[in-house]
Structures are given as structure tokens and as C-alpha cells.
Amino acid sequence: MNEPHTILIIDDELQIRRLLEITLSSNGYKILHATTGKEGLVAAATGHPSLIVLDLGLPDIDGQAVLTDLRKWFSKPIIILSVRDSEEDIINALDKGANDYLTKPFRGGELMARIRAAIRAGERKDDEPVVILNHLTIDMVNHTVRKDDELVKLTSTEYELLCLLVRNRGRVLTHQYILKEIWGYGYLEQTQYLRVYVAQLRKKIEENPAKPKLLITESGIGYRLGE
């Protein structure tokens, strides 16, 4: 029988910690708690969590700084759960390595779905040669994509964009991150350019491009790959 995953909650709000503990433990997870950034860093190092739920408004160290410190060595998923809902805070956290970002108040079902997706993604090997997503098969070795066994013809840029999302399953990628990785620093403000390519890619890989299930928009922030 597999050991339950351990989730570290770094949050100074007692009510939030209690709510998360009830929600997570009822779904079979073990829970670790930390109420400050310093406690969280120690708990992450000693408790070996499978995933961290991190608040940004901590009493000693700002959560963005905690995230930066964690990403120097902690490679497993980190989900931000914060009352801060500004686009700047969300983008900063995602660009610093957060896998996902939810704002308080949150829906328990959505949080659980994001946690499951992030843990699954964290367990995958980076060198996975063939990725199957519902009706889509991406062969990373032979550089082919098939939709319901039919070969999909992608441009080199469309293929690079899809592979970037595949390699980062479980993460929300900001517009700026994608633009930098695919086109370079000179395109960081060209979000409309990216939208055109996303629309083209959806027409080729989605069963219903008007209601995408694979290439998901995070409004105002970026994109993530669904499953």
C-alpha cells in the first residue's frame, strides 16, 4: 500500500489551517503546519513534503521571498493560496516557480483538483518519451503529434509551444515566461502574438476549440495544460 502524500501548509491564519487540514486529511493526505516563513523553510527541509501550500502574507518573511528560497532547492510542487489577487503578485509568484495560484476565499473542490494535478505532474519523469493526454499523443522522441491516431501537422513554433506546456504540466505558465522561452526577450510584451499561436494550436489539437480542455487559459495571467 502506498504511503499517503504529505502536504505542508505555510499559513499564519488558524482558521485557514484548520479548514485545510479537514479538507486534506479527509482526502487521505498527511499534514504538516508552519505559521511563519522561517518555520516553513525548516519544515520543508525536514518533513519532506510532496507539495507545499504557501500563503504570501506571513508575519516574518514575505511569501514571495519564501518561495524564492524554496526554489533554490525544493523541486516539488508549490501552490500559492493567498488573499492577494493582483495580477502583479500572481505573475511574480508563477515566474518565481510556483506551480499554481489560488486566491482566498477558495473552493475546496478546486483546491483539491489543483493539488492532485500538481502531485501527478511532480511524480512524472522529465525524460518521459511519449505523453498521452486524453485524445492526444505527443511523441517527444520522433517529434510527432497524433489526435485520435491521426497525424497532426504542426509548425515548428506550434510544436515548441505544445512541448513547453507538456514539460510544465501542473504549472501555470505566464505570458511573459512563454514568450521568453519560445521567442526570446524581445517579445515579452507581444501577448497578442502569443494568443494567435494559441488559437492556431487549439484548432489543431482540441476536440472543440471553442471549449478547450487541453490548452487552458488563466485569464490575464497565461496558460496551463489540462489533462
Regarding whether 142 and 119 lie in a shared domain, the answer is no
Regarding whether 146 and 65 lie in a shared domain, the answer is no
Q: Is residue 217 part of a domain?
A: yes
Regarding whether 175 and 75 lie in a shared domain, the answer is no
Q: State the distance between the two ends of the chain, measured CA to CA, in whole angstroms.
A: 26
Q: What is the largest CA-CA distance in the chain?
A: 55
Regarding whether 118 and 10 lie in a shared domain, the answer is yes
Regarding whether 166 and 100 lie in a shared domain, the answer is no
Whether the pTM exceeds 0.85: the reply is no
Output the domain CATH number for residue 95. 3.40.50.2300
Q: Per residue in 184-212, pLDDT tens?
A: 888 888 888 899 999 999 999 999 999 99
Dihedral angle sign, alpha carbons of residues 21, 24, 27, 30 = negative
Residue after which a domain boundary falls, among 123, 139, 167? 123
Residue after which a domain boundary falls, among 123, 152, 176? 123
Distance CA 14, CA 41 (A): 19
Regarding whether 149 and 65 lie in a shared domain, the answer is no
> Average of pLDDT values for 47-70?
95
Distance CA 178, CA 47 (A): 33
Regarding whether 93 and 117 lie in a shared domain, the answer is yes
What is the total count of domains within the chain? 2
Regarding whether 87 and 55 lie in a shared domain, the answer is yes
Least confident residue range of 49-63, 64-78, 129-143 = 129-143
> Average of pLDDT values for 81-89?
93
Regarding whether 101 and 25 lie in a shared domain, the answer is yes
Q: Is residue 1 part of a domain?
A: no
CB 55 within 8 A of CB 16: yes
Distance CA 133, CA 147 (A): 10
Regarding whether 81 and 36 lie in a shared domain, the answer is yes
Which residue segment(s) compose the domain that 193 sits in?
130-225
Q: Is residue 199 part of a domain?
A: yes
Residue after which a domain boundary falls, among 101, 123, 145? 123
Output the domain CATH number for residue 196. 1.10.10.10
Confidence of residue 177 (pLDDT cuts 50, 70, 90): very high
Q: Is residue 151 part of a domain?
A: yes
Regarding whether 158 and 116 lie in a shared domain, the answer is no
At 125 the pLDDT is: 53
> Average of pLDDT values for 64-93?
93
CB 178 within 8 A of CB 193: no
DSSP 73-118: T--S-EEEEES---HHHHHHHHHTT-SEEEESS--HHHHHHHHHHH
Regarding whether 139 and 74 lie in a shared domain, the answer is no
